[in-house]
Amino acid sequence: MQEFAQQIINGISVGSIYALIAVGYTMVYGVLQLINFAHGDIFMVGAIVSFYAASRRIQPAMPWWLHVVILVAIAAGFIVPVLLGKRWQAALRRVLPFIILYLVLTPTLYLSSVISRSGRLPDSSWAMAGFALLLAIVTCGSMGFVIERLAYRPLRDKPRINSLITAIGISLLLEFGGQHRSVFGPTPQPYPADMVPGIHKHLMLPGIIVSRVDVLIVGVTLFLMAVLTYIVLKTKTGLALRAVSYRFDTAALMGVNIDRIISFTFVLGSCLAAVAGVLYSVKYPSVEPLMGLLPGIKAFVAAVFGGIGNIAGAVAGGLILGLVEVLVVGYLPGGSQYRDGVAFVILIVILLVKPSGLLGKHVVEKV
Amino acid sequence: MSSRKSDTPPPPQASGAAVGAAIAPSRQVLPASSTASLLRSIRLNAAIPIALALLVPISWFVEGERFGAYNQRIVMLIGFNIIMAVSLQLINGFSGQFSLGHAGFMAVGAYLAAYPAMTYSHRLADPAACLLFFVSLAIVFAIAGFVLLGLFLLIRKTRQIHPSVPMSLLIVLIVWVLTDFAKGSSFAPDSRPAIYIWTHAVALLVRMFDWLIQVGTSPAAAISHAMPEVLQKPLSYLVLIIGGGLCAGIVGLVVGMPALRLRGDYLAIATLGMAEIIRIVIQNSQPLGGALGLTGIPKYTDFVWVYGGAIITTIVIWRLAYSAKGRAIMAVREDEIAAAAIGINTTRQKVVAFMVGAFFAGVAGAMYGLHERSITPTTFNMTKSIEVVVMVTLGGLGSVSGAILAAIVLTLLPEILRNIGAEISDYRMIIYSALLILMMLVRPQGLLGGRELWPRRVAGKQGSRRGFPVQPVATEDRDDRQ
């Protein structure tokens, strides 16, 4: 019985991470009807950025050629539309977010490098953990924004399969880019999980032992879900988000700025993925560029399981998936070999039995 | 539906729609029984043996000393990739069902050809033994399949009594099996009923398989010995690749029947999941070598076989795609509801496309296994599937020649980049993926975009270069969402 309780706790903890990633999938699917394959890799970016921050290895500046590439790209993005006959104000408005992002992120990079190298933050402290988490969130948020802007927005009125292929392309780009020597390299590296103070200790409850990692993960997830619920249900942006996901063009007629809402969705989902990435690597302290692949797919399965497009469903799906996975590993003979297969079996069963998922609505195709 | 563009001449009735336009010319394609068309078909059919015969002199050059082992390897890889890409083109491009699991079928073909080649037919000298393996496999799986089908039908039958009956039956069954498994891991595993039934059923099937092989071995050996020695190797190879292909095709049928009820992104994920399941099952089955894979497979595939296979694949897919049946498949791609409304059995068309595609993927896998000498499950992972999808997409969905072109370019490109310099070789996969994104942004219809490189034969309109340059893949209009 005690073992069973331990398994359940472990399952909830794994499931919470899946839930955090799945929410990003489901929100993007809700507004865009697009499976954002790159979402699992944004999770990976979050883990790697926090790894660099916690091990004090952030470079103070990007290589010079990257500055040149970015500046040339921004200049081209402004000049080419003007030459093609667009009004310069419109062209400027399109590149303005990138200019702001560039102007904000360059000093941020320098500042964070100084902070992480100065030694002012102790190796194992909440300040260090918070710093790493914050940096991961900022990086992933801006990355989500840029990806949506550059890769998905131009394809929004094209057949959906094009966006799907682009998403696969971005996912490959992030994975292979991460495997390059100058970014991270292909070999897994140990993650400094003890940046969170006392993470290896356990809580002794009557009957069961709970590791602090699990408490941390479940606590953070609960907090973020509360925040997310507040944003979606109580704020004006959340109302707009729901409107867009309910009906795209009608929302536009009602005065909702669709582009802004979609960007917001991507940024929000990416931030949650960043948190999930940090938590995941604290639990399993090893990072590599391909680490986002399986959690990403499993989180997608969780999103489908709960009914894609439905945030509560994604959370429920993530938890159930985590539990099932842990129980299969724990109780089936040879179950650990099938750990990664479980998610796919669940996916196929749910797609065949109830494609709309646990909480999703049944959609009838009309002519 | 109104938003879909069609480059075929506008149909007289305004709302006749793309499907009507795609179906109507099908009668023209079927050759009328006149002397001219007879001559034409002879000319076409003569082209195939000529092309196949041309392979022999080319192979002297490719397999010669001067060409080099490295170049030869690349040429072979291009051949495998052409078969894979063209067969996936039928699924993704023509039937519009976006499959991300092509490597799974390749794995089935590769393993089920390599295993008998190693176990039953040493040095490929025994074609009848290879055949025996596939026949026994078919018998055993047919029996298992019928039992499962019976269970399925039983559950379905009980549904007519009351909907909750099969549900509760299933739940009881699952709980029973699960608790049994849970206890079985800590007690003597054989004493629990569910485990007992499971292990003994599997053991029975395995024993039946062994028995069939045992009974058949000596007649098979006699048949093989009676054959002239020259024929033994090619025949066993043929049996192996066709057997591997058929196994993959049947897996495609089993996978496709349920999965093809899904559409679009869901299907993509489901096929991806199925391919991963196939890979994980292979990885965990000891006779197939587990995670280490099979090594010491006899090598037989050479240039002529691969490119002969590629030519035959291309011709079969081409003839299928541009036949009356192909029109039906494409109609499903254009609009499933409209296709069903004019009397096309949409599920059937999709399954046919899926099976044929899977068959050729299995053939490619079998050839690959018998060329590489060793195969591991990781060879056939998701990256491989995505690679083929990239080829099909870059070539242009719905274009056979585009798929061939893209297979050649995309196999050569990383190698060329690797040869330019050590510095660039680090970036080659990055460039590869960036190319995919750029392609989608700049020219989403792919290199050829649903057209063909060489003229397609259409009666009355000689030398039309057009395939079906309609926007591939049924996409729902945004209004359909609620």
Q: How many domains does chain A have?
A: 1
Cβ contact, residue pair A355, B266, below 8 Å: yes
Please tell me whether the interface predicted TM-score (ipTM) of this complex is above 0.85. no
Distance (Å, rounded) from C-alpha B386 to C-alpha B276? 13
* B315-334: pLDDT as tens digits: 899 889 888 888 999 998 88
Instruction: Name the residue range of residue B397's domain.
Output: 17-475
Distance (Å, rounded) from C-alpha A128 to C-alpha A105? 20
Tokens of B42: 């002879």
Residue of B2, B89, B269 to mutate when probing chain A, most A C-beta within 10 A: B269
Cβ contact, residue pair B440, A248, below 8 Å: no
Interface check for A179 against chain B (CB to CB < 8 A): the answer is yes
Q: How many domains does chain B have?
A: 1
Residue with tokens 């309109």: B461
DSSP state of B138: H
pLDDT for the residue A45? 95
pLDDT for the residue B39? 67
How many angstroms separate the most distant Cα atoms in chain B? 78
Strand boundaries in chain A, DSSP class E:
189-190, 202-204, 209-211, 286-287
Q: Of B258, B268, B270, which has the smallest distance from its Cβ to A164's Cβ?
A: B268
Distance (Å, rounded) from C-alpha A27 to C-alpha A310? 7
HSE, side-chain direction, 13 A CA sphere, residue B24? 12
* B113-169: pLDDT as tens digits: 999 998 887 778 888 888 999 999 999 999 999 988 888 888 777 777 777 777 787
Is A353 among the domain residues? no
Is A142 among the domain residues? yes
pLDDT for the residue B457? 53
Tokens of A245: 């996901």
Q: Output the tens digit of pLDDT for each of chain A's 367 residues.
A: 678 888 899 999 999 999 999 999 999 988 888 888 899 999 999 999 999 988 888 887 788 888 899 999 999 888 988 888 888 888 888 888 899 999 998 888 888 888 888 877 888 888 889 999 999 999 999 999 999 998 999 888 887 778 888 888 899 899 988 888 888 888 999 998 888 887 888 888 777 888 889 999 999 999 999 999 999 999 999 999 999 988 888 999 999 999 999 999 999 999 999 999 999 999 999 999 989 988 998 998 899 888 888 889 999 999 999 999 998 888 776 667 778 788 888 887 887 777 778 887 666 555 5
Is B449 among the domain residues? yes
Is A301 among the domain residues? no
pLDDT for the residue B184? 55
* B244-258: pLDDT as tens digits: 999 999 999 988 887
Cβ contact, residue pair A365, B283, below 8 Å: no
CA distance A196 to chain B (A): 34
* B364-407: pLDDT as tens digits: 999 999 998 899 998 898 888 888 988 888 888 888 999 999 99
Interface check for A8 against chain B (CB to CB < 8 A): the answer is no
Cβ contact, residue pair B440, A181, below 8 Å: no
Instruction: Name the residue range of residue A48's domain.
Output: 17-56+119-292
Is B171 among the domain residues? yes
Residue of B382, B440, B476 to mutate when probing chain A, most A C-beta within 10 A: B440
- pLDDT of B1 strictly over 50: no
Is B1 among the domain residues? no
Instruction: Name the residue in chain B with its Cα closest to that of A308.
Output: B266
Cβ contact, residue pair A160, B475, below 8 Å: yes
- pLDDT of B4 strictly over 50: no
Higher-pLDDT residue of B198, A96: A96
Is B456 among the domain residues? yes
CA B180 to chain centre: 38
Mark residue A185 as left, alpha or beta (left: phi above 0; alpha: psi -120 to 50; beta: remaining): left
Is B299 among the domain residues? yes
Cβ contact, residue pair B274, A344, below 8 Å: yes
How much of chain B, in percent, has pLDDT values that exceed 90?
27
User: For chain B, how far is it from start to end, CA to CA, in angstroms?
Assistant: 16
CA A43 to chain centre: 4
Helix, strand, coil percent values for chain A (each to nearest 5): 75, 5, 25
How much of chain B, in percent, has pLDDT values that exceed 70?
79
User: Which chain B residues in 162-221 lie under 8 Å from chain A, judged by CB atoms?
Assistant: 178, 181-182, 184-185, 189
CA distance A271 to chain B (A): 23
Residue of B430, B477, B482 to mutate when probing chain A, most A C-beta within 10 A: B430
- pLDDT of B462 strictly over 70: no
Tokens of B5: 């563009």
Instruction: Name the residue in chain B with its Cα closest to that of A357.
Output: B266
Interface check for A332 against chain B (CB to CB < 8 A): the answer is yes
Is B284 among the domain residues? yes
* B447-456: pLDDT as tens digits: 877 777 766 5
HSE, side-chain direction, 13 A CA sphere, residue A343? 27
CB burial of residue A195 (10 Å; 0-12, 13-18, 19+): buried
Is A356 among the domain residues? no
Is A145 among the domain residues? yes
Distance (Å, rounded) from C-alpha B81 to C-alpha B84? 5
DSSP state of B456: B
Q: What is the mean pLDDT of residues B416-430?
A: 71
Pairing status of strand A286-287 against strand A189-190: antiparallel
Q: Between chain A and chain B, how many beta carbons pairs sit less than 8 Å apart?
A: 143
- Amino acid at residue number B102: H
Distance (Å, rounded) from C-alpha B94 to C-alpha B329? 7
Is B480 among the domain residues? no
Is B2 among the domain residues? no
Are B274 and B101 contacting, i.e. CB atoms less than 8 angstroms apart?
Answer: yes
- pLDDT of B482 strictly over 60: no
Backbone φ and ψ of A317, nearest 5°: -60, -45
Tokens of A303: 């999103």
CB burial of residue B374 (10 Å; 0-12, 13-18, 19+): middle
Distance (Å, rounded) from C-alpha B260 to C-alpha A301? 18
What one-character-per-residue DSSP string does A300-335 give? HHHHHHH-TT-HHHHHHHHHHHHHHHHHHHHHSTTG
pLDDT for the residue A365? 53
What are the counts of helices (DSSP H) followed by strands (DSSP E) for chain A? 13, 4
What band does B20 get if pLDDT is binned at 50, 70 and 90? very low
Higher-pLDDT residue of A15, B265: A15
